Each structure stands twice: as C-alpha cells, then as structure tokens.
C-alpha cells in the first residue's frame, strides 16, 4: 500500500512514455541544464509538453530551478536523474519488462498466423486425401478388384508428402538468413509491415525546432516549407504571389511563434521561447552527444507491399493457392455428400482473405504513395528554391537574420534558485537592485 501511495505522488510515470524518453535524452545531450525552449527545439515537442515534462522530472528527481532577472526559468538536473526517478517508481522499473512482453506477444501473433495457414493446408488436403482414398476403396470393393494405394493414374497420395514439401519450403527460407523467418513472412505478405513513416512527425518537429534555434528564433515560411506537408499542386514558386502562409500555423501553435512584418513589408515568424537558452553551442559536444546537423529537407518513405524476400513471397503465394484450391475442392466433395455446413463457409472466407486483403492493400498503397510523392516533390522544390533564392527571397532571408538573436541565460544572470534559501536571495536581490538604481542617479 505504501508503494502505491508513493507511486501516486510521482508525476513522471504519468507522462506519455515516448515524450518522457525524448525529453530525458534531450536533457542529457544538452548538459543537464536546460530551458523549456531548449527542450522544445531539441526534442521536437510542444512548449506545453516540454514545460509539463520538465516540471515533473525536476520534481521527482529533486532537480533545481533557476530564475533569471528577465524571468526565464532554467531547469538543472543531476547526471543520474533518470536513475533517481526510476528508483522511486515501480511502474518505470517494470516498463522494460512489459515492453519485452509486448514485443514477444506481437511476434507470437505473427508466427501463429503463418502457422495457421500451414495447418489449414495440411488439414484440408489430409481431409481430401481421406475422402479420395475412401472412395477408391469403396470402388475396389464394389468391383471385387485388388485394393491399391494408388489413385488417379498411379499417383500415390500420402499426407506426409505434403508435410515434407512444406518443411522444405520452411527450411529453405530459414537457411537464407533473412531478417524475418518464413512464418513471419506470411503475415508480412498478407498484412504488410506497418507504416514506414510512423516516426516522421517526430523527425519533422525535431528538425524544425533545431533549425529555428540555429537561425536565432526568426524564420521565414520558405525556410520551414521543406519540412511541412504541402501539396505540389500549389507550387512554392507561386507562393510568393499569394498572401496566405497558412501552412505555418502548426509551427506557430506548437513552438509559440508569432508573425511580424519588417520595415520592407516581409512576413517573418519569431519564436521567443527558442531564442532563450541556457546551452552554449559547445555544450552538446562536451556531453558526448553528436552534433545533429539539420537536413535541408525531410522526405517520407513510400509504402511497400512487404519486406519479405522474393522466395518467401513465392512460398506464401504457393501455400495460399494450395489452401484455396483445397478448400474449394473439399467444399465440392462435401456438397456432393450433403455434408457441408457453416464451418466450410468460414474456411472459404479464410482462404479467400489471403488474396482479398493484399488486393485491397495494393490499391490503398498506390493511393498513399501517390500522395507521398506529391508532398515529397513539394518539399524538394521548396528546398531547391531556398538553395538558389531569387532576389525577393534573398532580401527576406537577410531581414530575418538581422532580427535573429540568441540569449544565453548564464549563471551570473540567475537571481533565484531553489538550491538556496529563497528569503535570503530575495533580500540580496533587492539590495543589488537598489544599488543599481542608485548608481544611475
């Protein structure tokens, strides 16, 4: 009970796992002394998410808060802050084991699906062989002839032959040493391998945040366009003649930006929170993190029907065809004996699904890839126009750089810190403020 009560007092375990992990990694990369803007820019999260997570992590790890004279808050963490939080939270300690169990369950489902197809083929053809054999024996007894174990032109029916064929296919695929075995490949051929761009949004905002920070918190729409979703039907080169830059709204809302108009009438975007930082440019290098260069554009990957190898695809299709032919043949045989029932309909639907599901996926993938290609073309065109700007854009970029600034909150700028007595700091600050005002008289 005490463990449950202690767990309920912690704020970190209630954070979304992916956001918590990204922010912890960003704190480590930036030297354990960060602002909300630092985290939003580095981790690619919203300002609200960054602030909520920093408060939770600082509270649970006994981190320190520093406040500058301008009101900027700096969060300071110890180097082992993650271990400190994990030691307090049973849920966080159990998460790696739960993730392993979830991965194992997903693998089991994929393998079980492939196994079900093989078992279906074996059982359906075994039933067919049994029916054919019983019919042959009945014909031989009725004719008084010698009972043979051959059927139909001297072909010997043996269920173990089919098992050996399946074993050969399975073993052949296993020895190829691919990333997925044959049972996993069956699932992949039918259902695919998931969204290839599931992390695209995280990458996008990570790059946008870092780009804006490196440009001093001021950017133009043309600079952000190579990372955003824009249809190629509206060419970037036509964009300057239009008044709308609505595609910038997600960036403004996410990173606390605001639009301004410079003296020449250019529309620029300022992100005040990303201009405030506690990190010197060399800090990430000293902490051992790699300097993340900002790519000039970001492209989506196209969907694939399957990542299975050609031999695995052929083996899966062969099994699906064998299953469908066997089910249809068995249905006809049972219908002639008046033995069909609802279960045979389920078998027919199951056998047909191995062709219907990939067919539907194929048309969906064609649609997805057409849209992806359209967006990628727009991003590439935006990046090209930014690399070789016209005179209007050159002047606009120059104006943005002139308004750029980067304010580093250093130790000497701090007027309050939770690491020291607040009342004493207030008296010291009031005394310093009084002296500063007196010196101006």
Residue 116 near residue 108, CB atoms below 8 Å:
no
Which stretches within 235-341 are classed as H helix?
236-239, 249-255, 272-275, 283-286, 310-336
pLDDT (0 to 100) of residue 342? 80
Tell me, what DSSP letter sits at residue 292? -
Q: Please, what's the b/e burial string for 399-433 (b: 16 or more CB within 10 A of its CB; e: otherwise)?
A: bbeeebeebebeeebbbbbeeeeeeebeeeeeeee
Question: Domains (ranges, CATH) in the chain?
Answer: 2-88 (1.10.10.10), 114-405 (no CATH)
Binned at pLDDT 50, 70 and 90, residue 165 comes out as: low
Binned at pLDDT 50, 70 and 90, residue 127 comes out as: confident
pLDDT (0 to 100) of residue 407? 85
Angle between helix 36-43 and helix 17-29 axes, rounded to 10 deg: 110
- By three-state DSSP, how is residue 31 classified? coil
pLDDT (0 to 100) of residue 398? 93
Distance CA 246, CA 269 (A): 12
Q: Please, what's the b/e burial string for 339-374 (b: 16 or more CB within 10 A of its CB; e: otherwise)?
A: eeeeeeeebeeebeebeeebeebeeebeebbeebee
Distance CA 208, CA 213 (A): 9
Count of CB atoms situated within 10 Å of the CB of 40: 29
Res 178 pLDDT > 80: no
97 vs 281 pLDDT, higher one? 97
Res 136 pLDDT > 50: yes
pLDDT (0 to 100) of residue 438? 41
pLDDT (0 to 100) of residue 148? 43
36-50, 291-305, 342-356, 427-441 — which is least confidently predicted?
Answer: 427-441
Res 291 pLDDT > 70: no
Q: Mean per-residue pLDDT for 338-364?
A: 89
Residue with tokens 């994990």: 86
CB neighbour list of residue 87: distance below 8 Å, 6 or more residues apart:
93
CA 288 to mean position of chain CA atoms: 25
Work out the mean pLDDT of the chain and round it to a whole number: 81
24-28, 129-133, 266-270, 375-379 — which is least confidently predicted?
Answer: 129-133
Res 88 pLDDT > 90: no
pLDDT (0 to 100) of residue 174? 46
Q: Mean per-residue pLDDT for 76-93?
A: 90
pLDDT (0 to 100) of residue 258? 92
Binned at pLDDT 50, 70 and 90, residue 241 comes out as: very low
Tell me, what DSSP letter sits at residue 70? T
pLDDT (0 to 100) of residue 79? 92
Burial (0-12, 13-18, 19+ Cβ within 10 Å), 122: middle
pLDDT (0 to 100) of residue 431? 53
Distance CA 290, CA 308 (A): 34
Count of CB atoms situated within 10 Å of the CB of 195: 11
Binned at pLDDT 50, 70 and 90, residue 176 comes out as: very low
Residue 34 near residue 278, CB atoms below 8 Å:
yes
pLDDT (0 to 100) of residue 143? 55
Residue length of the chain:
441
Nearest-Å Rg of the Cα atoms of the chain is: 33
């Amino acid at each position: 009970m005490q463990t449950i009560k202690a767990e309920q007092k912690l704020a970190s375990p209630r954070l979304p796992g992916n956001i918590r992990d990204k922010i912890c990694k960003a704190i480590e990369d930036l030297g354990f002394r960060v602002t909300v803007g630092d985290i939003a820019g580095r981790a690619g999260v919203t300002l609200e998410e960054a602030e909520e997570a920093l408060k939770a992590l600082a509270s649970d790890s006994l981190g320190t808060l520093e406040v500058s004279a301008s009101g900027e808050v700096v969060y300071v963490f110890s180097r082992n802050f993650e271990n400190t939080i994990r030691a307090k939270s049973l849920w966080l300690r159990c998460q790696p084991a739960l993730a392993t169990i979830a991965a194992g369950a997903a693998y089991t489902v994929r393998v079980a699906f492939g196994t079900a197809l093989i078992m279906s083929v074996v059982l359906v053809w075994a039933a067919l062989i049994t029916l054919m054999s019983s019919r042959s024996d009945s014909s031989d007894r009725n004719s008084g002839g010698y009972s043979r174990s051959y059927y139909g032109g001297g072909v010997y029916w043996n269920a173990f032959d089919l098992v050996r064929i399946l074993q050969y296919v399975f073993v052949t695929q296993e020895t190829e040493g691919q990333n997925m075995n044959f049972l996993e490949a069956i699932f992949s051929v039918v259902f695919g391998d998931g969204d290839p761009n599931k992390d695209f949004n995280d990458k996008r905002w990570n790059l946008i945040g870092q780009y804006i920070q490196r440009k001093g918190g001021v950017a133009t729409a043309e600079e952000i366009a190579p990372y955003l979703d824009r249809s190629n039907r509206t060419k970037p080169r036509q964009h300057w003649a239009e008044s709308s830059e609505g595609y910038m709204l997600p960036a403004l809302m996410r990173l606390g930006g605001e639009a301004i108009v410079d003296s020449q009438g250019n529309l620029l975007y300022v992100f005040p929170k990303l201009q405030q930082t506690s990190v010197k440019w060399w800090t990430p290098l000293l902490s051992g993190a790699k300097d993340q260069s900002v790519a000039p554009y970001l492209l989506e990957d196209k969907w694939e029907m399957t990542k299975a190898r050609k031999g695995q695809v052929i083996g899966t299709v062969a099994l699906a065809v064998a299953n469908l032919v066997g089910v249809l043949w068995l249905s006809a045989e049972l219908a002639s004996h008046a033995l069909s029932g609802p279960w045979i309909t389920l078998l027919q639907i199951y056998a047909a699904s191995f062709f219907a599901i990939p067919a539907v996926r194929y048309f969906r993938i064609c649609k997805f890839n057409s849209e992806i290609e359209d967006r990628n073309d727009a991003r590439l065109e935006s990046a090209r126009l930014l690399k070789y700007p016209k005179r209007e854009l050159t002047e606009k970029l120059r104006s943005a750089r002139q308004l750029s600034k980067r304010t580093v909150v250093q130790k000497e700028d701090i007027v309050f810190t939770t690491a020291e007595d607040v009342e004493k700091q207030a008296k010291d600050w009031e005394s310093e403020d009084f002296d500063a005002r007196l010196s101006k008289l």
